[in-house]
Amino acid sequence: MAAVDTVVRQLAAGDHIILNADGYGGTHRLLTQVHDASFTLVDLVDLDAVAAAWTDRTRLVWAESPTNPGLAVVDIAALAALARERGAWCAVDNTFATPWLQRPLELGAHLAVHSTSKYLSGHSDVIGGFVATDDDALAAALRLVRNAAGAVPGPFDCFLVLRGVKTLALRMERHCANALAIAGFLAAHPAVQWVNYPGLGDHPGHALAARQMAGGFGGMLSIVMAGGAHAAASLVIGTRLFTLAESLGGVESLIGYPARMSHASLAGTPHAADPGLVRLSVGIEDVEDLLADLEQALAT
Ligand SMILES: Cc1ncc(COP(=O)(O)O)c(C=O)c1O
């Protein structure tokens, strides 16, 4: 979260942020419980809603695409153009997609933010993040915060991230292929009401994702269980290969329950995670083993 924090510190008191309504709960927690920032949660898929939420103090539009945990696809180029037109910054948290699948700066964003704890290191053994920009003034301001506030990774963590990046392409190919197979399997399963995965042809953001992502649709997906909260809880405790855990993007498959875990800080708000929603971080294991694990967990 240090990378997110470094960006938010670029704002002046009273500046306003437009933020993904469907987005990582930790970003919301940082803005409300640490920064006391002025922000509006908006469905960024709807650019009219973005324009309607705009105030004369809006300085930053913060987007995730695909979003966490709903896997909605935001039109980064259109959002960045709107922000530029109105004199604000567009920052994209590119953690789910990785630079291998999606490059926000090339799409016009001012800032691309990554948790390196996830796909970039890839082995769930690092906590870190970085911010990339092609704007020299912004880069200097970010460096000042990094220097003054001390959000710098240690050399060993840097080594682990650099080593991870060497296999990023290979890992992402497998993450994407496994996730696509699992999304198809889950979409046909009677216990599952809905699958959120941009690689499926009937996902509302499929065509946009195919344009703005290259090489696949990522390793993350979420499902809404037909049996609601109870069915979701049974599934997350019923898998054996998918480990119940919060993080994502490692070689091993994880399963999470956002309403109580990664997005618990939104509980009780209109943007709380659906209690029937389960999030999967699909790893690089043999896909037949992953499918068999989900099949047995859904059967119980
Ligand atoms: C989209 C997204 N961005 C940022 C983070 C924060 O990552 P870290 O755990 O490295 O602070 C997360 C964590 O889950 C995330 O899902």
Domain, as residue range, for 66 = 2-164
User: What is the pTM (predicted TM-score) of this model?
Assistant: 0.96
Number of domains in the chain: 2
- Ligand 1 atom 14: the closest Cα is on which residue? 247
Of the residues 164, 189, 210, the one at which a domain ends: 164
Reported as a pLDDT band with limits 50, 70 and 90, residue 229 is very high
Reported as a pLDDT band with limits 50, 70 and 90, residue 53 is very high
Residues 279 and 190 in one domain: yes
CA of 233 to the centre of ligand 1 (A): 23
* Predicted confidence (pLDDT) per residue in 132-186, tens digit: 999 999 999 999 999 998 778 999 999 999 999 999 999 999 999 999 999 999 9
Of the residues 112, 136, 164, the one at which a domain ends: 164
Residues 191 and 248 in one domain: yes
Reported as a pLDDT band with limits 50, 70 and 90, residue 265 is confident
Distance of CA 100 to the CA centre of its chain: 15
Residues 195 and 214 in one domain: yes
Residues with CB under 6 A from ligand 1: 1, 24, 26, 64, 68, 93, 95-96, 115, 117, 127, 129, 248, 262
pLDDT value of residue 147? 92
Residues 86 and 185 in one domain: no
CA of 129 to the centre of ligand 1 (A): 8
CA of 236 to the centre of ligand 1 (A): 20
pLDDT value of residue 129? 95
Of the residues 100, 130, 164, the one at which a domain ends: 164
Mean pLDDT of 245-266: 93
CATH number, domain containing residue 100: 3.40.640.10
